[in-house]
Amino acid sequence: MPLGRQLREARLRAQLKPKDLARKAGVSIAAVYNCERFDRGGRMRTLLRLAKALGCTVRIPDLAAAAKDQEYTETVLAEMAQLAFDTVRSLLARPSSGNVRSLEKLCAALGQSLQLVF
């Protein structure tokens, strides 16, 4: 299940409206909507703040180790995930600094998943 959908379900379980979660996390309402939408994803740093405000954490797999284990080069991963080479390189180095949707694409290419943990 996409991370944004997991976030939305956690927000609904906490009985919070998007504006309430935004206020609690110190972000804009638009940021909440962007993180919850599958087609956009929002920024990973924002999603981490929202998860923390909900009392959750995000489990991010070690993508660099997974790529090494599967003997995928950054170029091959970029093609598989349909992402720019620089995006793949950046996400492998610092997965929490990118776009949620891009990170999900890279995880899928490596057979990994992002999970919201309560």
Rounded to 5°, the CA angle 42-47-51 comes to 155
Q: Which domains, from first to last, does the chain contain?
A: 3-58 (1.10.260.40), 59-117 (1.10.260.40)
Across 83-111, average pLDDT: 96
| pLDDT higher at 66 or 41 | 66
Q: Cβ(66)–Cβ(42) under 8 Å?
A: no
**CB-count burial class (<10 Å; 0-12, 13-18, 19+) for 12:** exposed
Q: Is the pTM of this model over 0.85?
A: yes
% of the chain beyond a pLDDT of 90: 92
Q: What is the DSSP letter of 4?
A: H
d(CA 59, CA 49): 14
Q: With pLDDT > 70 as the criterion, what percentage of the chain qualifies?
A: 100
pLDDT tens-place string over residues 45-95:
999 999 999 999 999 999 999 999 999 999 999 999 999 999 999 999 999
φ, ψ for residue 57, nearest 5 deg? -130, 160
